[in-house]
Structure 1
């Protein structure tokens, strides 16, 4: 009987991403017998195809850009930089490998943790199957991540995804990027700076639809200034391999059929959770129309004893939100049972150059709240530090609840924006009046010193 071959654990964790690994180690420290199941490389998206490799590429692309633009700062460079993508990839691969080895060692050094390789699927609400092995637990944690969504019209095309583009060892000649959001924009600028000609096709009327249109227009301006061609409102896109090599993408815009050709096409039209691989129906899990496992504020699913963390729960698609899911879960299981999703303030960054840092609401979202609002926006060109660096593109803006005086949202799009946004975020988590930040004395010359000046410019928002 199958029950005779069942391996029983105190906890089964499916997926070794930024929530799964620390949870396994935290539970093991409390003497739980833990099985962690992984179908691919240790570390999940962040380590293997997300933050670590892409930001390594961003750094290389930034170096190439800095050399090419050094003349603006009075530095004469005889020729354009020679880009060696093989060397860039080698550096990236080492960073990824080092991270994987660190995770492997941490898990291997814990005798309470059993690493199991393979794809897990439910048999019922307490048992999962991995290859020929059957595992059982009354505590099952899903951290299965997500993968690139492949839109209709590209099934028979030699396309790239955020994973396969990182395996190229030669810069593309002409890259077509399908999708004008975070992944697409970052790779577009990376490859443009490394020497490719890049075209972005976005179905929506403007880039990064999560953001207000004003932000989108500034981002587009930055990209187009670097030579990237941006086409928004591209409907009914379809790809076709050319006999002579390369790919042609046809689309409709303003009622007319148009086409663009390139050597490669990158599909960056969003991601879908890997929940379908779990056979969730066998456990009775509720999955929404987008494939996410529904959870409450404590990350509990509709099935007692099953929890969902990270990208697969639809409550955030970032490393920091995944890790916070671990923190919530650890507190609920081992701590004071106080931490929940309700405590989290939305924050993220778009790692083009200059970067965009976002905390809390956009202006349009804040208007929908019905609150009495104060708003201020200033261009980066007003900042001495930005002028001195020769990087004056972008803006800084803030939204305040006029009644509570608390900051509802902020954006820093400009040099250092991904770091500076933390100043707003800390103030928001501390629930301080904006006046505390407004009356602070910030170091000169820095970009951060604009914040008090920005807050002094607050004006009432008309809904």
Structure 2
């Protein structure tokens, strides 16, 4: 095998690995980026970009069917799944090709293949073209991410694979399923369940837990359940799948036996979580420790148990969001490239990964969106503070009424003494954008009464932040 030594070797081109490869190469470091499938990682190829592209198509279909609510009549609307898929592919391709060109123009050696450790800072790479390489580096960064988890259910492996879908394969369907059964009531299951309902599928959602999106507050989850059922999605909570039966004949139904009854459909979407891509890396050869779930153990500077080897992105666990992966990029860039950055590079103030990252924001792109930042109800007992909470339905928001988008609620928790905003949720139209306003206020140390007294433009969704605080108790 040929062997090449680099200053930096990055395994996986996700949302922290790719910009780090560009940053190290631009700083004069000889850099290699090892990628098994495609540049950009999950976000660009199977996550944020393609899913939100398709969700936009689903919203157009939804609004088209609701057009008479706004006084608009139209001819019969048809869904072209092939066009939806191609639009998604085109947008993804534009991102991946652009990212690859930038890497190559910066002098990064991009090697397409599957890598595994043979020593602490040495990797064997089975190249996609059939050749083999040995790659070593003074510094190694692991950015291999996660993949959809496959649950262990009796009979699942015997079902025609074309009818057992995950969050990647479901986006490659050329036709809308007749009846999609979604296993899992988390963010992935809800986004895809609502999308395919809007595209014309019958959708049944089976959730093991007692509520949808279990990490959310109970009242938020209950409001979301009402919205999902209002969209005519059949939801069953506290439901475990015991076995699955079917045949290879696609015109016959798949049957699922559960703790609450029997369900039949044409396709199954597995939305039961994700698992880290560490099992193929041979981490023992590098002395890299992992958790019981397979995530790589790191310190507050993202270094693993092997000196000079770092883990970035979803592979080390914690909040599995693209923006957190990108934050890992900033941490590594600051700590390891601080003296090499160009004078025009903004100064870095965050050099450690917070163990809690309490202000981590996130958005679920159901319609309406669910945006959240800060603490949840379950966290309040640990705060040892006297708190107050305000909840307000979106039907009280003028802009929501005017746009006929009144489903959902807003919720905020504050310190009763200091006025500090501790947590905020907006389950409503453009909930992620409204949440970002409150997040910015929290970052700047503003109190709830500062938002109450702010002069927001009228009519806007933001001005609901004048009124929410009247419901504190």
TM-score by length of 2: 0.92
Q: What is aligned with 1:39?
A: 36
1:52-99 deviation line (CA, Å, top 9, x unaligned): 1110111000000101011111112343x2000000001000000000
Q: What is aligned with 1:223?
A: 228
Contact 1:203–1:232, Cα closer than 8 Å, also in 2 = yes
* Inter-partner Cα distance in structure 1 for 2:193 and 2:90: 23
1:169-193 deviation line (CA, Å, top 9, x unaligned): 1000000000000011000000000
Q: What is aligned with 1:294?
A: 297
Q: What is aligned with 2:438?
A: 424
Q: Could you tell me which of 11, 15, 19 is aligned with 2:12?
A: 15
Q: Does 1:180 align with 2:194?
A: no
SS of aligned partner of 1:171: coil
Contact 1:36–1:116, Cα closer than 8 Å, also in 2 = yes
Contact 2:241–2:256, Cα closer than 8 Å, also in 1 = no
| Mean Cα deviation higher: 420-429 or 186-195 | 420-429
Q: Does 1:116 align with 2:111?
A: yes
* Inter-partner Cα distance in structure 1 for 2:41 and 2:287: 25
Q: How many residues align?
A: 450
* Inter-partner Cα distance in structure 1 for 2:168 and 2:78: 25
Contact 1:310–1:316, Cα closer than 8 Å, also in 2 = no
**RMSD over aligned Cα atoms:** 1.5
SS of aligned partner of 1:321: helix
* Inter-partner Cα distance in structure 1 for 2:79 and 2:314: 34
* Inter-partner Cα distance in structure 2 for 1:301 and 1:402: 41
Q: Does 1:251 align with 2:265?
A: no
Q: Does 1:366 align with 2:373?
A: no
Q: What is aligned with 1:88?
A: 84
Q: Post-superposition shift, 1:138?
A: 2.5
SS of aligned partner of 1:10: strand
Per the alignment, do residues 404 and 300 of structure 1 end up closer, same or farther by CA in structure 2, a change over 3 Å counting? farther
Q: Does 1:455 align with 2:466?
A: no
Q: Post-superposition shift, 1:337?
A: 7.2
Equivalence map 1:267-286=2 (5 Å): 267-286=270-289
Contact 1:9–1:33, Cα closer than 8 Å, also in 2 = yes
Q: Post-superposition shift, 1:369?
A: 2.5
* Inter-partner Cα distance in structure 1 for 2:470 and 2:25: 51
Q: Could you tell me which of 43, 48, 51 is aligned with 2:48?
A: 51
List, as ranges, runs of 4+ consecutive aligned residues in structure 1 with deviation greater than 3 Å.
none
Stretches of structure 1 lacking an aligned partner (at least 5 in a row)? none
Q: What is aligned with 2:353?
A: 341
Contact 1:332–1:338, Cα closer than 8 Å, also in 2 = no
Q: Post-superposition shift, 1:354?
A: 0.6
Contact 1:366–1:408, Cα closer than 8 Å, also in 2 = no
Contact 1:68–1:77, Cα closer than 8 Å, also in 2 = no
Q: Does 1:163 align with 2:168?
A: yes
* Inter-partner Cα distance in structure 2 for 1:403 and 1:45: 43
* Inter-partner Cα distance in structure 1 for 2:284 and 2:427: 43
* Inter-partner Cα distance in structure 2 for 1:234 and 1:445: 43
Q: What is aligned with 1:378?
A: 392
Q: What is aligned with 1:198?
A: 203
Q: Could you tell me which of 319, 322, 345 is aligned with 2:322?
A: 319
* Inter-partner Cα distance in structure 2 for 1:246 and 1:141: 46
Q: Post-superposition shift, 1:398?
A: 0.7
Q: Post-superposition shift, 1:156?
A: 2.6
SS of aligned partner of 1:277: coil
Q: What is aligned with 1:137?
A: 137
Q: What is aligned with 1:67?
A: 64
Q: Post-superposition shift, 1:199?
A: 0.2
Stretches of structure 2 lacking an aligned partner (at least 5 in a row)? 127-131, 339-347
Q: Post-superposition shift, 1:110?
A: 1.3
Q: What is aligned with 2:365?
A: 351
* Inter-partner Cα distance in structure 1 for 2:197 and 2:410: 26
| Mean Cα deviation higher: 139-148 or 229-238 | 229-238
Q: Post-superposition shift, 1:281?
A: 1.3
